[in-house]
Chain A
Amino acid sequence: MKDSNLLVKNARIIDPSTGIEKTGDILIAEGQISKIGKDISKTGVTAIDASGLIACPGFVDLHCHLRQPGYEDKETIATGAAAAAHGGYTTICCMPNTNPPLDNAAVVSHVRDIAAREAPFITILPVGCITGGRAGRELADMTELAGAGCVGFSDDGSPVSNARIMSLAMQNAAVLDLPIIDHCEDLDLSAGGHMHDGWVAVRLGLKGIPAAAEETMVARDIALCELTGARLHATHISTRGSVELVRNAKQRGLKVTCDVTPHNLTLTHEQVMKATADPRTALAYDTNARVNPPLRSSADIDALIQGIMDGTIDAIATDHAPHTIEEKLCEFENALSGIIGFETAFGVLMALVHTGRISLNTLLLCLTAGPARVLKSAAGTLIPGARADLALVDTEHEWTVDVKDFLSKGRNTPYDGCKLKGMVVATISGGRLSYRHNSLRIS
């Protein structure tokens, strides 16, 4: 089936990049958005009956881990990309903590070659390292990385502790006009921590990661952003204090953006101890709820949602972080941090819409134009001439998460078995169907 010419019929079209919200048709030709309007008729195209569905720009993810090269037992570029398409994503930024890490042009080119060969249906944008080996000591060749196609710089998970090194990186990034994407964590303050520093950690005898471990680093980075004029993107912020710091920085006109994960918006630290279905044990010590930054308190969630509503938070990013079964089927303290996110993100986030905490348009903004703007990317829009990246979603469809249905290799999610309302029905990437649910009506 040649599907580069598609006609999406009778969709409720929502494009946060333009503010368009209407019911109509979208004609896709030659991989681009050709026309949006009422009752478009065209012969020789594949027609999709999208009545009852929302058509919006394909989702853009600023933060995911595809694990290749080096950790192909967790995920590969092919399986990660398939999972992303399953979740409505058409553009994803992969983090550089592979082995070897993305700290030189050769590895970046290798990743892009694999992506072009094995996942041509999705746009994969690599994020380069800030320092060689993500060791925090010597800067990577950032100009070379930018030339190789990196869209930003991050030592994700091993944040640059030395403020001077970070300031130098920001000076380079400012000239390259690319964002520094920082996982904000003071490693001394969080050392040995397993979960949010709160009452549940005390209850379980686990060591806490205080909110201040994140906030001190957000504050430092904002100061360095002001010093250097670089674009700072604080990724997966998780605390009320971080939201306030970013809000304040934005009010002062600094080039600061941030994102938050679906799990940090919907789950609290109580998830770690949550009673399992098995009555034989009361405390779960659920390693699938181990993640960094950790799941925090309900007060933090309230502040994060407020940050989304008032525009302080620009994007929702999955931090899709697959691990093997063995890396999670162990003691909580020995389990690796991370939650997979691609295939649950939309359904999980729709709970916030259904409960009236955020609006659908704001949610879609944070999944599309919001992250695209952070990257200054042309993605995340339905304007004619744009690459035809779309997600078709059903906000009312109820389904139950079953990890066995995932296209990701990862099974590490605390949402397994959860009933969700809201599902991605199809994903169109560059004018081609990169994912379709069996309920999609095509003629």
Chain B
Amino acid sequence: MSLSEPGPGAAIRETLPGPSIDFWKHRHVLDLDDFSRDETDLVFEIAEGMVEILDRDVKKVPTLRGKTIATIFFEPSTRTRASFELAAKYLGADTISLDSAKSSVAKGESLIDSLRTLQALEVDAIIMRHPCSGAPYIAARHLDTSIINAGDGCHAHPSQGLLDIFTMKQQLGDLKGRKAIIIGDIMHSRVARSNIWGTRHYGMKLVLCAPPTLIPRGLTEMLEKCSLDHVTIEHNLDTAIENADIVMPLRLQKERQQSGLISNLREYIQGYQVNLKRLAGAKPDVLVMHPGPMNEGAEISHEVAYGTRSLIEQQVTNGVAVRMALLYLIAGGKNR
């Protein structure tokens, strides 16, 4: 498609002058594994413009006026859902949100039936979160409407991956040679997986640090098979944190202790909590990020979470900007 054609596309370009998006080919945003460097950079370039809009007193622009964005969450979420809905509203779209617990899903409706209903309601894009890995892929195979994956099981959370890398670039500029570490429950983390794919274009090193029981057994082979050679695995946090530019602990869920994956919280804190003492081993200007929600006192200490090196609130703001960029690219064009 081309935005130079008359029609809705031209109108959009008038409301939001920006880079050419002609080469953008994605109908869906399912994960970052099929995002090229150029496409990822495009999202960031548009997101920078969105950050400016978010700084305004009146944040609303008419870019997606007349478009309808649906969110359907099959798993509870406050932050991601609010972020997407605000992103849609700031761009002038109408939004509807379906809560699976209260919808017909609770009455036994299948995933595909629920989504087909949304499609029949002529929404322009569906933002979905689902506890099962791959659910958005099944949706995309059976629907024509664009699907944006807002988190599927342990598999992917592409908008989070994008906002994380956007935040890193915002602070550090070129990421070449930089070292980031993701700490904790790698096994169950869709955030870690999307960051693995997203960071591969930027010449940086990514270290995954966790006790062996929270690293999936096939991870090393997966990294090899997928040529993700910028990623390494390290079980000792004090080793991993040396010369780190970015430290990103993941939320530790209480269920992990119940299922025996960690022996107890105290041991985990001793080995893996990001606190001031540990940060002293990193670069002096190390940045701390967290995808949220935080479990303060577990994977991260209060002092670090709210300390001078913390970008956690910045991530939340950037999340809206990045999601605005994604919605613009997915729902903004003609015939999308």
Q: How far is the CA of A207 from the CA of B28 in the complex (A)?
A: 25
Flag if B217 contacts A208 (CB, 8 Å). yes
Chain B nearest CB from A330 CB (Å) reads 6
- Per-residue A-contact encoding for B131-142, CB less than 8 Å = 1, 0 else: 011110110110
Q: How far is the CA of A197 from the CA of B187 in the complex (A)?
A: 12
Check if B55 is an interface residue, CB within 8 A of chain A. no
Flag if A333 contacts B153 (CB, 8 Å). yes
Flag if A199 contacts B141 (CB, 8 Å). no
Check if B294 is an interface residue, CB within 8 A of chain A. no
Flag if B140 contacts A280 (CB, 8 Å). yes
Flag if A208 contacts B138 (CB, 8 Å). no
- What chain B residues lie within 8 Å of A210 (beta carbons)? 217
Q: How far is the CA of A210 from the CA of B217 in the complex (A)?
A: 9
Flag if A285 contacts B218 (CB, 8 Å). no
Using known A-B contacts A199-B225, A205-B190, A333-B153, determine if residue A283 contacts B216 with beta carbons closer than 8 Å. no
Flag if B27 contacts A332 (CB, 8 Å). no
Check if B16 is an interface residue, CB within 8 A of chain A. no
Using known A-B contacts A205-B155, A280-B141, A326-B110, determine if residue A199 contacts B222 with beta carbons closer than 8 Å. yes
Please tell me which one of the listed residues A201, A280, A332 contacts residue B216 in the complex, with CB atoms under 8 A apart: A201
Within 8 A of B (CB), among A231-286: 276, 278, 280-285
Q: How far is the CA of A285 from the CA of B152 in the complex (A)?
A: 12
Flag if B27 contacts A283 (CB, 8 Å). no
- What chain B residues lie within 8 Å of A200 (beta carbons)? 218, 222
Flag if A284 contacts B226 (CB, 8 Å). no
The closest CB in chain A to the CB of B153 belongs to A205
Chain A nearest CB from B115 CB (Å) reads 12
Using known A-B contacts A198-B218, A203-B222, determine if residue A332 contacts B141 with beta carbons closer than 8 Å. no
Chain B nearest CB from A201 CB (Å) reads 6
Check if A334 is an interface residue, CB within 8 A of chain B. yes
Using known A-B contacts A205-B134, A332-B132, determine if residue A281 contacts B141 with beta carbons closer than 8 Å. yes
Q: How far is the CA of A14 from the CA of B193 in the complex (A)?
A: 53
Chain A nearest CB from B219 CB (Å) reads 5
Q: How far is the CA of A404 from the CA of B222 in the complex (A)?
A: 36
Chain B nearest CB from A430 CB (Å) reads 43
- What chain B residues lie within 8 Å of A285 (beta carbons)? 133-134, 137-138
- What chain B residues lie within 8 Å of A201 (beta carbons)? 216, 218
Flag if A283 contacts B134 (CB, 8 Å). yes
Count of A-B residue pairs with CB < 8 Å: 91
Check if A40 is an interface residue, CB within 8 A of chain B. no
Flag if B132 contacts A202 (CB, 8 Å). no
We find that the number of chain B residues with CB closer than 8 angstroms to chain A is 34
Flag if A202 contacts B219 (CB, 8 Å). yes
Q: How far is the CA of A152 from the CA of B140 in the complex (A)?
A: 45
Please tell me which one of the listed residues A208, A278, A333 contacts residue B132 in the complex, with CB atoms under 8 A apart: A333
Using known A-B contacts A201-B216, A201-B218, A205-B152, determine if residue A282 contacts B134 with beta carbons closer than 8 Å. no
Please tell me which one of the listed residues A198, A203, A281 contacts residue B140 in the complex, with CB atoms under 8 A apart: A281
Check if B33 is an interface residue, CB within 8 A of chain A. yes
Chain B nearest CB from A64 CB (Å) reads 28
Check if B200 is an interface residue, CB within 8 A of chain A. no
Check if A329 is an interface residue, CB within 8 A of chain B. yes
- What chain A residues lie within 8 Å of B219 (beta carbons)? 199, 202
Chain B nearest CB from A298 CB (Å) reads 12
Chain A nearest CB from B235 CB (Å) reads 17
Within 8 A of B (CB), among A157-212: 197-208, 210
Most chain A C-beta atoms within 10 Å of own C-beta, residue among B111, B216, B226: B216
The closest CB in chain A to the CB of B190 belongs to A205
Check if A331 is an interface residue, CB within 8 A of chain B. yes
The closest CB in chain A to the CB of B220 belongs to A199
- What chain B residues lie within 8 Å of A326 (beta carbons)? 110
Flag if B34 contacts A204 (CB, 8 Å). no
- What chain A residues lie within 8 Å of B132 (beta carbons)? 331-334
Chain A nearest CB from B146 CB (Å) reads 10
- What chain B residues lie within 8 Å of A333 (beta carbons)? 132-134, 153
- What chain A residues lie within 8 Å of B112 (beta carbons)? 329-330
Chain A nearest CB from B143 CB (Å) reads 9
The closest CB in chain B to the CB of A273 belongs to B134
Using known A-B contacts A281-B30, A281-B140, determine if residue A329 contacts B133 with beta carbons closer than 8 Å. no
CB-CB nearest 3 A-B residue pairs: A205-B155, A285-B134, A205-B133
Known A-B contacts: A205-B193, A280-B27, A334-B132. Give 13 more (CB < 8 A): A198-B218, A205-B134, A205-B156, A210-B217, A280-B28, A281-B30, A283-B137, A326-B110, A330-B110, A330-B138, A331-B132, A331-B134, A331-B138
29 A-B pairs with C-beta separation under 8 A: A198-B218, A199-B225, A200-B222, A201-B216, A201-B218, A202-B216, A202-B221, A204-B155, A205-B152, A205-B153, A205-B155, A206-B154, A206-B155, A210-B217, A278-B141, A280-B28, A281-B30, A281-B137, A283-B30, A283-B134, A285-B133, A330-B110, A330-B111, A330-B112, A331-B111, A331-B135, A331-B138, A332-B138, A333-B134
